[in-house]
Structure 1
Amino acid sequence: MGYKIPGAAMDRVSLLWRLRRRARRGAICMTFFCISMALLYALCAENSVPVTDAIFGVRARTRAQPRTHSVVKVLRGGAKSIYADPQKHPGIIAGDPHRPIPVLSSPNHTNEDWASPPKRAAKMKESSGFFSHLLPGPFTRALETLFVGRRKGELSGKSGDSEFFGSKGILGDVWNDEMSSSMLGNRLKKVVQNYQAMNKYGVKVSGPGGSSNRPKLSGRELLCQLKEKVAVTTLTSDHEPFSALAWAPLLLPPQQLTSDLGPYKSCAVVSSAGSLRNSGLGKEIDTHDAVLRFNSAPTSGFEKDVGSKTTIRLINSQVMASDDHRFLSSSLYSSGVLVAWDPAPFSSNLSQWYNHTDYPIFNQYQRYRRLHPQQPFYILHPRFEWQLWQRIQDNMAEPIQKNPPSSGLLGTILMMSMCEMVHVYEFLPSRRKTPLCHYYQRFYDAACTFGAYHPLLYEKNLVKRMNQGSDRDIYNHGRVTLPGFSAMNCTAEAVQEH
């Protein structure tokens, strides 16, 4: 006769069995829930515009107005909120953290080797081809985001950055000045089209630009057109409305930047491009009489590649407003001359801009000037930005983004107004071209080369046409040679209006 388990013990065993079964079911349900939420998150992050439109409608997306003094930008591809710079992350709109444009992935802070992509990414890339035949594109990209992480922040289409970079990329050895949006991947095209349609700054297009029948100007004609039609102007205390403000006469410089600085014989404009890494250009850059750098690009630790001299630092208003950049306290900004800029609406006057800046540039300017009263600090007149934008559009065969030019081109034209000769480094990518955005950060995206927020692709076309150096200089050193406006004689030939 077998042993019988007492009733009380039997109840305890039965209860324990039921609890374990419920725990297993709960774990399975929780796992399924987490996977579903992660997939939904990835889907929304990668396809924010179509998903938002599908759930809430187009009107809900377009109804939001820009918040001009908001500083924090949340990158939905990252694990935490970070402060974003339009130049650094071209998929984000300056001054509007809530407009659902497809965003770029967050900086990659892993300890992976810079040159070798993770093996599991390659493994997933091979297997994703099977799913791409079964699932719609958004779901395929969501799966890639979830399991691969899109560590290169691709905005260039399914084929990723490889369609641009490498021996078989469309870039070739040297930048082609006929580059157009038709050469971009689908995802980057969509981002550019969104900015085209948005027209945040109320740009009114005029002139011959955007037509494929437009006659193409020579490099010299382009240079003369810039000299005659783009005025590098900074704010002074006699500009309205600043002449009526109590702080302005005390803090704003009494003269233009171009009157106070220069002339210089040779100047270097050093981009922040990732292709400057391992370039060994530091000594060459420091031989110039004046060197311009951008935003928070450091020299410490990178002297071999970017040099150590800083004469002018051009910064956008977002860097000034961001706590993350420590503009008021970091020693990075305390050397050399500072020049700041903030985009104004296309047709606004200075009074309208003063009351509706993208970021609180004037509040930060006043604070910094009181902390550093001896350091020269200028603010670009927004008219300069839009005059330059108009020249880009007038000389392109298709519509460009209705957003201001990049800091890179603004700084290049600024130095051309003060120097006899300007060398621009890695604005046009060299043989070291890479999807790495900045030499001092681990952030990958082809949009940093081709532009999304800024009309960067078209800016590079313009610079390539004006380049007076050789293609070999571009290929080996990423060096473009441009004459200063003072060294040009444009009266000998009339610059045609096209």
Structure 2
Amino acid sequence: MAKRTLMIFSAGVCVGIMIYYVLHTFLMPTFVFKIIKPMVDGQELLCALRKNVPFSTITREQASKDGNATILPEESLEKLVHFNSCAVVSSSHGLRLHTYGKEIDSHDAVLRFNCAPTQGFEQFVGNRTDFRLINTQIPRRSCQKEFWSENSTMFKHETIVVRNMDAIGLEGEKVNTKTDRFHVFANLVKYGKKYPERDLPFIQRPDFGNDIMRELARFCITTGMCYKAIMSPSSGMFGVVMMLHLCDWVHVYEIVPSNKDETKLLYYYDEKEMWSKKDWHSYIQERVYFRTLSLTTEKDIEDTGVVLLKGFSQTQCH
């Protein structure tokens, strides 16, 4: 009898552990987010982001002893431009479920990513592109034809900004490309020589990406609303933080997804490529972070996929 009781007790303990694991792994992030969110001060979070992740781009003066310094702008991007209303447009397939084209084009500045086209998709994503944030794989692995073509509309009338996680640094007033494994800087030099009449490219400061990653990890640890971010931040995260420095108000389209898209398709311009099971970026943590900063209600985000964020210029910090 005692042996049977012990067996039942042990089985109960095992079941309890399994239930806890399932809840912690699949349900707890959502549950904790709903309970804790009202306790997190979005204003304080925004002030911490501004303080911990300053924005600038590499200037010609900073690389004055580099033979290729002439392809760098004389001034940092944030000193040259500032906008009232900005749109950050993801490449998500979810944009095919909305018709935000005219709304996106109505903003003072529009940011897009990597190889995202507009031609043929104007009703969904608009036509204007003022800034294009590219990762270092362009043009070696992606957008080669569009990047180098004289007739391509992509890049031609756009300001290029390079997402700099740790690829391009500065050392002794020279550009350090030891970790630039896709040779984006060398390609930018060639691009500048081929198209000297086009805008010079901006390269985000060294450690900008690492600072974003640390701030995202700090948020997750201190709030308990997400697991610590250990993956590289996405281009979307880079773009949103950059635009918070450059704009009074930032409208983010389908980076935090709506509930409209039931497919597993990745891009609005590709009806074949699916989401990979292998996650290279901290998407889950980023979405929780943006929801916490958002001036938009949860219901509106779920319906529209649009998040409204207050820029740093509109934030009073102590």
Shorter-normalised TM-score: what interval?
0.7 to 0.9
- Taking the aligned partners of 1:481 and 1:178, their CA distance within structure 2 comes to 23
- From 16, 41, 44, give the equivalent of 1:221: 44
Shift >4 Å, 4+ stretches: 175-179
Counterpart in 2 of 1:339? 161
Give, in angstroms, the shift of residue 446 of structure 1.
6.1
* Contact 1:275 1:430 (8 Å CA) reproduced: yes
Q: How far has the Cα of 1:178 moved from its partner?
A: 4.9
CA distance in 1, matches of 2:200, 2:296: 33
In structure 1, the partner of 2:304 is 477
1:356-410: CA deviation from partner (whole Å, max 9, x where unpaired): 2131011011011112223231011131111111110001146545343111011
Q: How does 1:256-275 map to 2 (within 5 A)?
A: 256-261=76-81, 263-275=82-94
Q: Name the structure where strand makes up a greater proportion of residues.
A: 2
The structure 2 residue matched to 1:445, chosen from 252, 264, 275, is: 275
Deviation at 1:294, TM superposition (A): 0.3
Is 1:299–1:308's contact at 8 Å kept on the other side of the alignment? yes
Aligned partners of 2:191, 2:75: CA distance in 1, in Å? 19
Looking at structure 1, the residues matched to 101 and 287 of structure 2 have their Cα atoms a distance apart, in angstroms, of 23
- 1:237-275, Cα deviation, whole Å (9 max, x unpaired): 122xx2211121x211011011112x2110000000010
Letter in 2 for 1:469: T
The total of aligned residue pairs comes to 275
1:429 maps to which residue? 257
Residue 72 of structure 2 aligns with an amino acid whose one-letter code is L
Q: Does structure 2 retain, via aligned residues, the 8 Å contact 1:267–1:291?
A: yes
Partners in 2 of 1:178 and 1:256 — Cα distance? 40
Asked if structure 2 preserves the Cα contact closer than 8 Å seen for 1:342 and 1:361, the reply is no
Quote the residue 2:68 is aligned against. Answer: 247
Aligned mate of 1:405, from 209, 212, 233 = 233
Among 192, 199, 206, the alignment partner of 1:382 is 206
Deviations 1:115-149 (A, max 9, x none): xxxxxxxxxxxxxxxxxxxxxxxxxxxxxxxxxxx
Do 1:177 and 1:462's aligned partners in 2 also have CA atoms closer than 8 Å? no
Question: Is the 1:435–1:446 contact (alpha carbons within 8 Å) kept by the matching residues of 2?
Answer: no
Deviation of residue 177 (structure 1)?
A: 8.7
Q: Does 1:361 align with 2:174?
A: no
Q: What does residue range 130-209 of structure 1 map to in structure 2 within 5 Å?
A: 176=30, 178=32
Closer, same or farther in 2 for the Cα pair 1:234/1:251, shift >3 Å?
Answer: same
8 Å CA contact 2:136, 2:184 repeated in 1: yes
* 1:68 equivalent in structure 2: none
Distance in 1 between residues matched to 2:266 and 2:317, nearest whole Å? 37
User: Which secondary structure state, in structure 2, belongs to the residue aligned with residue 382 of structure 1?
Assistant: coil
SS of residue paired to 2:309: strand
The one-letter code sitting in structure 1 at the alignment partner of 2:289 is L
Q: Percent identity?
A: 33
Q: Kindly state the Cα deviation for residue 234 of structure 1 after the two structures are TM-superposed.
A: 0.7
Q: Please give the per-residue CA displacement for 1:165-196, whole angstroms capped at 9, x wherever unaligned.
A: xxxxx89xxx95957xxxxxxxxxxxxxxxxx
Aligned to 1:313: 132
CA distance in 2, matches of 1:178, 1:452: 22
Structure 2 equivalent of residue 155 of structure 1: none
Q: 1:281 to 1:176 in 2, by over 3 A?
A: farther
Task: Say which one has the larger Rg.
Answer: 1
Distance 1:176 1:480, change over 3 A: farther
In 2, distance between residues paired with 1:489 and 1:251? 36
From the superposition, tell whether residues 257 and 487 of structure 1 become closer, same or farther in structure 2 (CA, over 3 Å): same
Listed as ranges, the gaps of 5+ residues in structure 2 are 1-25, 34-38
CA distance in 1, matches of 2:201, 2:84: 22
Q: Which residue type is aligned with residue 357 of structure 1?
A: D
Mapped to 2, the partners of 1:323 and 1:272 lie a distance apart of 14
TM-score normalised over the length of structure 1:
0.52
- State the TM-score, normalizing by the size of structure 2: 0.80
2:59 aligned residue (232, 236, 245): 236
What whole-Å deviation, never above 9, does each CA across 1:296-328 have from its counterpart, x for those lacking one?
000000000001111101001102222653222
Give how far 1:350 is off: 2.7
